[in-house]
Amino acid sequence: MKLGILVTTDKYLDEIRGITKAALSLGHEVSIFSMDEGTRLLENPAYTELCKLEGVTLGFCDHNAEGLGINKEGIDNDVLCGSQYDNAVMQHEADKVIVL
């Protein structure tokens, strides 16, 4: 199964990490996409390091990050700097999607 996590707020980092690790432990893939206020998490290494876990893809809406003045310097190259198209792809490919 592939789990999608759409992150629209910066309030649930512990939950995102916990859900991601629980899904991976059950053998699932996880795709995480940040938009709106969720792009603020890009400045937190505890969030961006999730891209290093096998089975996890992590992306964000560059337009939203730019609009909020998010510092993208130092974000791991494995984090996909994308657009709402990438959100649509995640929604299409995921078996289930959680929105936080």
Residue-wise DSSP of 16-47: HHHHHHHHHHTT-EEEEEE-GGGGGGGG-HHH
pLDDT in the model for residue 74: 85
Edge-to-edge strands of the sheet including 80-82?
80-82, 56-61, 29-34, 2-7, 96-99
> In the prediction, which pLDDT does 49 show?
96
The pLDDT of residue 10: 97
For the chain, residues with pLDDT lower than 70 are none
Q: Which helix (H) or strand (E) holds 64?
A: helix 62-67
Q: What pLDDT was estimated at residue 13?
A: 98
How many Cβ atoms from other residues are within 10 Å of residue 51's Cβ? 17
Q: What range does the domain containing 80 cover?
A: 2-99
Q: What is the CATH number of the domain that holds 77?
A: 3.40.1260.10
Residue with tokens 């959680």: 98
Q: How many domains does the chain have?
A: 1
